[in-house]
Amino acid sequence: MAEAEEALIPKLAEASRREPKTREPRRLAEIITAQLEALRVYHRAVLDSDDIEAVHKMRVTTRRLQASLDLLESQLNVRALKTRLRTWRRALSRVRNYDVFLELIAKEEPARGRARKEQLQLIKGILQQRRARRAKKVRQFLERADIDKIAIKLGLLVPAPKEQTADATPNESSPTEPPLAGYETASMNVDEGVVAAYAAERLEQRLTEFQALVAQSHPTNDPAELHQLRIAAKRVRYLLENVSQMGFGDASKALLWLRTLQDRIGDWHDLEALEEEIITITSAREFTKQHLVESSRMLLAAAHLQKKKNALVTRLFPVRMPRHISVTSHRIARALRRKAMADPTASSKTSAS
């Protein structure tokens, strides 16, 4: 297993480099191709090594790819593909949650006294066991995931499998190391003018939804309300990320603020989820009966998490969206419409859809 993890490190690094970090304009087809290639690598890493970073990166890549596919709604039927990506992401989230829980505990342990460390050690052991069981189930589920099918559905050409040489061993010819530059972007038929027109409408819609939630936001510990605000921020963020890569304007300042807001709500959510996990464990009658003292210690740890959650809420609210978010979004929407107007077929195609 260690050898498999070591072999995947260069591929994970290469896939990370393919994530949006460049200001060089790219067509949507190129962006989707790079995301699919990265998804293949992270998917293989999850199956081969259960790598924590691979689990996280595969989740993020499914979200980015879903945002890219959303821009094709006016040209292709991508709803089923988006649903498939969402299903994979939810499966990965079940493993990622335990990774986050264990990270939180690792941060807490050094700064705590002996009694608190004992509480955390007990929780840590249980969570590690649950993580291992959940990861096994998710791996079995993701073994049926086929990234190439998404590429084929989008009209991309898929590379032929590597040929096995006469002296090659099964491991050397195995598909555990898929080529990164496998898909042919040129084969994907996308009308960039139509994409631009649709993206302008989508951006204004996403911004309006987000602004409404920000206006209604108030100090709360309601997971549903905070989740909706975080999802709305993600939708605006990933859409701005895409159109910026396509060359319609710099949104780096807006992206930084949206990511910061998303991370702050995410920190609260992680504490909430860990608290719920502890309560679920200790509320099991058989467990509590066998571990009365330990259960009380675990609940004390959960009470400490509640205090941290309340402190996070105090710092998070009120949410004040800076003016540059709407200014940047409207400026990029105008640039998108100028591109659409330059394509005489764009407006008619988007109206027809």
Higher pLDDT, 156 or 39: 39
> What is the rounded CA–CA span in Å between residue 9 and residue 308?
35
> Whose CA is closest to 70, among 88, 83, 56, 59?
83
Residue 157's SS3 state is strand
Residue finishing a domain among 115, 138, 158: 158
2 and 150 share one domain: yes
The pTM assigned to this predicted structure is 0.83
151 and 212 share one domain: no
Look at residue 180 and tell me if it is in a domain.
no
| Structural domain boundaries enclosing 229 | 192-353
Look at residue 352 and tell me if it is in a domain.
yes
Helix, strand counts (H, E) of the chain: 14, 0
138 and 213 share one domain: no
> What is the rounded CA–CA span in Å between residue 85 and residue 65?
8
Q: Bridge-partner residues for 157, per DSSP?
A: 184
Q: Which of 53-67, 75-89, 172-186, 218-232 has the lowest mean pLDDT?
A: 172-186
b/e per residue 47-80 (b: at least 16 CB within 10 A): bbbbbbebbbbbbbbbbbbbbbbbbbbbbeebee
Look at residue 175 and tell me if it is in a domain.
no
224 and 316 share one domain: yes
> What is the rounded CA–CA span in Å between residue 212 and residue 12?
38
Residue finishing a domain among 135, 158, 181: 158
213 and 150 share one domain: no
Look at residue 225 and tell me if it is in a domain.
yes
Look at residue 178 and tell me if it is in a domain.
no
> Whose CA is closest to 242, among 110, 91, 66?
66
Whether the bond between 318 and the residue before it is cis, its omega within 30 degrees of 0, is: yes
Higher pLDDT, 345 or 322: 322
141 and 227 share one domain: no
Instruction: Name the pLDDT band for 183 (thresholds 50, 70, 90).
Output: confident
Neighbouring C-beta atoms of residue 167, cutoff 10 Å: 6
> What is the rounded CA–CA span in Å between residue 194 and residue 176?
37
Look at residue 14 and tell me if it is in a domain.
yes
70 and 135 share one domain: yes
Our count of domains for the chain comes to: 2
> What is the rounded CA–CA span in Å between residue 202 and residue 191?
16
CB-CB contact of 350 with 192 (8 Å): no
Mean pLDDT of the region 290-303: 85
CA 285 remoteness from chain centre = 35
Q: What is the separation, in whole angstroms, between the first and last Cα of the chain?
A: 49
Question: What would you report as the CA-atom Rg of the chain, rounded to the nearest whole angstrom?
Answer: 23
pLDDT at 273: 93
145 and 275 share one domain: no
Condensed to tens digits (0 to 9), the pLDDT of residues 241-250 reads 999 999 999 9
Condensed to tens digits (0 to 9), the pLDDT of residues 118-163 reads 777 888 999 999 999 999 999 999 999 999 999 999 988 766 554 4
Residue 220's SS3 state is coil
Enter the tokens of residue 54: 């691979």
184 phi/psi in degrees, rounded to 5: -100, 105
Spatial CB neighbours of 315, under 8 Å, sequence gap ≥ 6: 264
Look at residue 165 and tell me if it is in a domain.
no
> What is the rounded CA–CA span in Å between residue 237 and residue 217?
19
Helix 28-49 / helix 223-245 crossing angle, nearest 10 deg: 130
148 and 269 share one domain: no
Q: Bridge-partner residues for 184, per DSSP?
A: 157
Average pLDDT, rounded, for the chain: 85
129 and 251 share one domain: no
86 and 205 share one domain: no
Look at residue 318 and tell me if it is in a domain.
yes
pLDDT at 325: 97
84 and 231 share one domain: no
